[in-house]
C-alpha cells in the first residue's frame, strides 16, 4: 500500500461524498433499473464487496431482486436473460 495515495484518497472523500449526495438529489438512481431486468448481481472484492452489499440491500428495498457476490467466488449467482451484472472497484483496476 502506498501511504501517500491512501492519505490523498481519505482527504478527497468529503468532496466526493458531497458530490455524490448532490447527484443523488438531482437524479435518484434506485429506480433506474433497465426494463426487463429480472435480477441485478453486484460484484466486488474487499471494500467494494461491502459497497455492493449496501447497494443490493437498497435495490431490494425498492423491490428489485438484487444480490452481492464476491468477485473471487468460484460459484456465484447464475446469470442469464434479464440479469444485469455490475462490477464495483474502488481503484478502477480490479
Domain boundaries, the chain: 1-30, 35-94
Residue identified by cell 501511504 is 3
Cβ neighbours for 38, distance < 8 A, ≥ 6 positions apart = 65, 81, 82, 83
- The strand ranges marked E within 23-87 are 39-44, 66-70, 83-87
Q: Where are the alpha helices (DSSP H) in the chain?
A: 3-26, 47-61
8 A C-beta contact, residue 33 and residue 55? no
pLDDT over 80 (residue 7): yes
Can you tell me the distance from the alpha carbon of 93 to that of 83, in angstroms, rounded to the nearest whole number? Answer: 24
Residue-wise pLDDT for 22-72, tens only, equals: 877 776 666 667 888 889 999 999 889 999 999 999 889 888 899 999 988
Amino acid at each position: 500500500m502506498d501511504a501517500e495515495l491512501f492519505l490523498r484518497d481519505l482527504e478527497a472523500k468529503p468532496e466526493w461524498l458531497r458530490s455524490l449526495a448532490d447527484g443523488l438529489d438531482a437524479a435518484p438512481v434506485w429506480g433506474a433499473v433497465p426494463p426487463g431486468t429480472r435480477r441485478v448481481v453486484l460484484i466486488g472484492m474487499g471494500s467494494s464487496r461491502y459497497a455492493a452489499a449496501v447497494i443490493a440491500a437498497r435495490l431490494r428495498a425498492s423491490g428489485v431482486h438484487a444480490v452481492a457476490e464476491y468477485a473471487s467466488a468460484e460459484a456465484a449467482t447464475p446469470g442469464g436473460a434479464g440479469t444485469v451484472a455490475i462490477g464495483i472497484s474502488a481503484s478502477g483496476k480490479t
